[in-house]
């Protein structure tokens, strides 16, 4: 058995040695080609149908599909951490929040009412196409040539610039410098970007408080405090006239009364 | 059989334009909000593509911060929409016209 295994390995060894250096660049390029040309139309189609579908629930599901396609594209772009975060935060948390609100409000049907501006739809379409052309020429234009393929094509220094193209460096170096994409991002976050990172926590706290304040029902700010604590606080001031053993009885009855009131209120909700 | 980096930027531009047209065309507040999310996402895609073009991870860190800001924005925005729905009993953008002259 061992001898068979050894002979098989010995037979396969030259293949394993010979194959990867020749094929690695070509296969990664081919894989990237197919992943891009499958996922990009999927993302575009999902985005288009999100805008075109009448039912907000279907729109939300199309947006989830779009987020998954973009997560795959992140993985191809050597951003493994962001690909996972995209699935967990966007497709998981944010879209579930959207679906909750859609279901809670019961706005499944998009009832078209009048009072649309005349020609708004066609004007929006024309300006959207203009925006797309402008962004493609202005932002993506310099990198559209075949010289801008990642990882950088092994050309003599200066030839890419001489052809009018711009090189694409690729993330193989930075991703392996710290032992992986996640480790590199973590080091950056806690060294160069530690101040923005800490500010982000303040932003999240503000957002949470803002959502709580916006989501409450009554205008009374006292409603935001805990009912049990409020009842205890209201019960503690003791009338000055009471003395001795009477004091304890009044406080206990006061607390009991407010507590029962609180439970009644909660029950009526 | 290779993909120039510009194709990713063009895809992001297309997604951004679709989101912008969606905000202009749709009138359901929640769908408009989802279109804004799509635009934020396409900007993230641009940042990640440029991070690869320039060969450093700063773009990905910036994209990470954008995701956090988008999450915070969604909580506050959805709370606003729920409040508006309580006031107007409709999630239509045209129902909110108190400041119209």
Segments making up each domain of chain B, as ranges: 5-91
pLDDT in tens, A131-157: 999 999 888 887 777 777 776 555 555
Reported ipTM: 0.91
Give Cα A179 distance to the centre of its chain: 25
Residues in B closer than 8 angstroms to A93, CB to CB, are: 71
Confidence band (pLDDT; 50, 70, 90) for A16?
A: very low
Which residues share a beta bridge with B4? A149
Interchain proximity B76–A207, CB inside 8 Å:
yes
Whether A17 shows a pLDDT value over 70: the answer reads no
Quick one: average pLDDT of A68-96?
90
Distance from CA of A87 to the nearest CA of B (A): 11
pLDDT of residue A224: 59
pLDDT of residue A264: 43
Block residue for tokens 């923005």: A196
Interchain proximity A124–B21, CB inside 8 Å:
yes
Do the Cβ atoms of B18 and A51 come closer than 8 Å? yes
pLDDT of residue A7: 54
Mean per-residue pLDDT of chain B: 87
Chain A contact present for B89, CB below 8 A: no
Structure tokens at A36: 């891009």
Residues in B closer than 8 angstroms to A144, CB to CB, are: 4, 6-7, 10
CA atoms within a 13 Å half-sphere pointing along the CA-CB vector of B90: 13
How far is A252 from A235, CA to CA, in rounded Å? 8
pLDDT in tens, A191-221: 999 999 999 999 999 999 998 888 777 666 6
Chain A contact present for B25, CB below 8 A: yes
What b/e readout covers A85-96, taking b as 16+ CB neighbours within 10 angstroms? bbbebbbeebbe
Among A18-27, A42-51, A124-133, A176-185, the minimum mean pLDDT is found in A18-27
Task: Give the A:B interface size as CB pairs under 8 Å.
Answer: 262
Structure tokens at A209: 């408080």
pLDDT of residue A14: 46
How far is A57 from B30, CA to CA, in rounded Å? 10
Do the Cβ atoms of A90 and A193 come closer than 8 Å? no
pLDDT of residue A245: 45
Which residues share a beta bridge with B92? B28
Higher pLDDT, A164 or A93: A93
Whether B28 shows a pLDDT value over 90: the answer reads no
How far is A236 from A229, CA to CA, in rounded Å? 11
CATH of domain B5-91: 1.10.287.3510
Residues in A closer than 8 angstroms to B28, CB to CB, are: 56, 107, 110
């Amino acid at each position: 058995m061992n001898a068979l295994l050894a002979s098989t390995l010995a037979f396969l060894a030259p293949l394993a040695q010979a194959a990867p250096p020749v094929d690695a660049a070509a296969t990664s390029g081919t894989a990237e080609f197919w992943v891009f040309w499958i996922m990009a139309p999927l993302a575009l189609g999902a985005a288009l149908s999100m805008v075109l579908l009448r039912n907000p629930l279907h729109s939300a599901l199309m947006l989830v599909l779009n987020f998954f396609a973009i997560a795959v594209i992140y993985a191809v772009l050597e951003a493994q951490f962001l690909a996972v975060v995209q699935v967990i935060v966007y497709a998981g948390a944010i879209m579930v929040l959207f679906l909750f609100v859609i279901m809670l409000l019961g706005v499944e049907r998009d009832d078209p009412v009048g009072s649309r501006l005349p020609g708004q739809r066609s004007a929006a379409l024309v300006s959207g196409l203009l925006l797309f052309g402008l962004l493609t020429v202005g932002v993506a234009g310099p990198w559209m040539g075949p010289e801008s393929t990642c990882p950088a094509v092994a050309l003599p220094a200066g030839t890419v610039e001489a052809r009018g193209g711009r090189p694409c460096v690729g993330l193989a170096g930075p991703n392996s410098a710290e032992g992986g994409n996640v480790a590199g991002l973590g080091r950056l976050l806690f060294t160069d970007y530690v101040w923005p990172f800490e500010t982000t926590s303040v932003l999240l706290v503000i957002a949470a408080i803002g959502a709580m304040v916006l989501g409450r029902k009554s205008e009374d700010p006292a409603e935001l405090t805990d009912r049990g604590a409020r009842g205890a606080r209201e019960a503690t001031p003791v009338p000055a006239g009471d003395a001795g053993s009477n004091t304890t009885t009044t406080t206990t009855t006061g607390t009991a009364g407010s507590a029962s009131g609180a439970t009644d209120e909660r029950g009526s909700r | 059989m290779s993909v120039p980096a510009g194709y990713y930027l063009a895809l992001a531009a297309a997604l951004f334009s679709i989101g912008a047209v969606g905000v202009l065309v749709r009138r359901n507040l929640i769908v408009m909000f989802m279109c804004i999310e799509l635009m934020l996402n396409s900007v993230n895609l641009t940042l990640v593509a440029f991070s690869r073009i320039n060969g450093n991870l700063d773009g990905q860190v910036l994209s990470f911060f954008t995701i956090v800001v988008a999450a915070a924005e969604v909580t506050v925005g959805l709370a606003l929409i729920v409040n508006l729905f309580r006031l107007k009993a409709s999630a239509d953008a045209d129902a909110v016209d108190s400041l119209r002259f």
